[in-house]
Amino acid sequence: MDFNIVIVDDDAVVLFLHKILIEKSSLPSNTCTFKNGKEALDYFLKNSSEKPALVLLDINMPVMNGWEFLEEIRDLHKGGDVYVAMLTSSINSFDVTNAQKYPHVIEYLEKPLTKKNCDELFQKMRKLLSEK
């Protein structure tokens, strides 16, 4: 099943590298990048009829951080079609535990994204979407 991939990170180099890695994976998906949670949230508000999405979400960003984005996306009626992989440099145990409180979070990974992480995430997404 086809799905969108949304990368949210305030580091332009990380956005570029992760987008290239995903595009090389040859998945039939559309990849969008955003510099903060507010830009990503606006995308979801404007594209409410879009296909399911996998969001690769950083935590520490200006304007709207990852936690604030998770709060907002949880409150959207479309939230069930949004799956989140926290992709962050934070190794704080509080962040790992806090991420588990959000039903949309399916994974917690340290940056940078690797080909192995990418393959595992896509397999997990395919499984989740096939069970719907």
pLDDT per position as a tens digit, 87-123: 988 888 899 999 999 989 999 999 989 888 888 998 8
> Is residue 9 within 8 Å of 32, Cβ to Cβ?
no
The conformation of residue 81, written as its DSSP 8-state character, comes to G
Angle, helix 66-75 to helix 37-46, in steps of 10 degrees: 20
Please give the helix or strand (H or E) that residue 57 lies within, else none: strand 53-57
Average pLDDT of the residues of the chain: 88
Q: Which residue stretches of the chain have pLDDT < 50?
A: none
Phi-psi region of 26 (alpha: psi -120 to 50; beta: other; left: phi over 0): left
Q: What is the pTM of this model?
A: 0.91
Q: CA 95 to CA 25: how far, in whole Å? A: 28
